[in-house]
Amino acid sequence: MVKVDLDHVYKKYDNASDYSVTDFNLHINDHEFIVFVGPSGCGKSTTLRMIAGLEEISKGTLKIGGKVMNDVAPKDRQIAMVFQNYALYPHMSVYDNMAFGLKLRHYSKEDIDKKVKNAAEVLGLAHLLDRKPAALSGGQRQRVALGRAIVRDAPIFLMDEPLSNLDAKLRVSMRAEIAKLHQDLKTTTIYVTHDQTEAMTLADRIVVLKDGKIQQVGSPLEVYNKP
Ligand code: ADP
Ligand code: ADP
């Protein structure tokens, strides 16, 4: 149901002389798990941000569920995004951090309460709803960031290096949680990482980027199991 189509998408920042993303052409299937890999500066975040509507597309077409989205506001894109730095509000409780996006969208109090408590249950945060982010561990903070995405019921998850601030052990367990969320919630997920193991274990297809261009698209086996 929710495909994401990038048709010959280009991005040139206003102050830049060159394109940061060139002829990005990719058709993502419903419920697919796509991972973007490539060196720093190759255009991973820019592409994710164009899909989210946080950056304008210079040329080309973005379609979500078959509809052209180029000029649709971020809040109307049915997308939930999770960032590397969690992007939690430090002065708000865990509950309010998760409720915030729903309040903005004028959900009812009862609806918000149900969604937040349900997400907290799923993520093992039910006993931490009154805490402030400063009183949480790194893994708990990242769970809150995931909770903010879950409560939105968005069919598309965008994740920009969500685990790179965590220690190695926690990365492995959170990786499994993300895989499970993708399965349980049936989302279409686009995930940026530097970590080859993450890419191999999570991806249906890996997109290898270099200098703003797609170099290769394939299954983990095709991309990493070179002869
Ligand atoms: P990645 O996420 O793969 O590290 P980015 O998408 O952040 O790469 O960056 C791609 C290119 O676009 C880089 O050359 C970067 O310097 C440039 N870039 C990113 N953001 C901006 C911006 N706001 N203004 C100008 N250039 C930018
Ligand atoms: P959600 O909180 O559910 O992820 P949004 O991503 O739409 O919802 O964010 C809601 C609002 O909060 C938007 O106006 C967005 O710009 C703003 N916002 C999100 N994260 C931060 C942050 N870390 N700091 C400041 N404002 C933020």
Helix (H) or strand (E) holding 8: strand 4-11
> What pLDDT sits at residue 109?
96
CA-81 nearest atom, ligand 2: 4
Question: Which residues make Cβ contacts (< 8 Å) with residue 127, sequence separation at least 6?
Answer: none
Q: Is the ipTM of this complex over 0.90?
A: no
Instruction: Give the residues across from 28 on adjacent strands.
Output: 4
Contact 45 CB / ligand 1 (< 6 Å): yes
Find the 76 Cα to ligand 1 centroid distance in Å.
25
pLDDT-derived band at 1 (thresholds 50, 70, 90) equals low
> What pLDDT sits at residue 59?
97
How far is 69 from 15, CA to CA, in rounded Å?
Answer: 24
Find the 103 Cα to ligand 2 centroid distance in Å.
11
Q: Whose structure tokens read 């400063």?
A: 134
- pLDDT: is 222 or 87 the higher one? 222
Question: Which residues make Cβ contacts (< 8 Å) with residue 178, sequence separation at least 6?
Answer: 146, 159, 162, 163, 189, 191, 202
**What single letter denotes the amino acid at residue 212?**
G
> What pLDDT sits at residue 166?
83
Own/partner contacts of 102-106, CB < 8 Å, gap of 24 or more, are: 102/151, 102/152, 104/75, 105/75
pLDDT-derived band at 204 (thresholds 50, 70, 90) equals very high
> What pLDDT sits at residue 138?
87
Quick one: which of 225, 62, 226, 87 has its CA closest to 156?
62
Give the tokens for residue 175.
């990786």
Distance spanning both ends of the chain, measured CA to CA: 36
User: Of 48, 49, 72, 75, which is best to mutate to test ligand 2, by the most ligand atoms within 8 angstroms of its C-beta?
Assistant: 75
Collapsed DSSP state (helix, strand, coil) of residue 53: coil
- pLDDT: is 168 or 25 the higher one? 25
Average pLDDT over residues 198-213: 97
Average pLDDT over residues 183-211: 95
- pLDDT tens figures, 10-68: 999 999 999 999 999 999 999 999 999 999 999 999 999 999 999 999 999 999 999 99
Q: What is the DSSP string of 55-77?
A: S--SEEEEEETTEE-TTS-GGGS
Average pLDDT over residues 94-102: 95
Give the tokens for residue 169.
């052990």
156: left (phi over 0), alpha (psi -120 to 50) or beta: beta
Give the tokens for residue 57.
């597309």
> What pLDDT sits at residue 75?
84
Per-residue pLDDT at 227 exceeds 70: no
Average pLDDT over residues 219-223: 95
- pLDDT: is 174 or 204 the higher one? 204
How far is 189 from 208, CA to CA, in rounded Å?
Answer: 16
Contact 42 CB / ligand 1 (< 6 Å): yes
**To the nearest whole percent, how much of the chain has pLDDT over 90?**
79
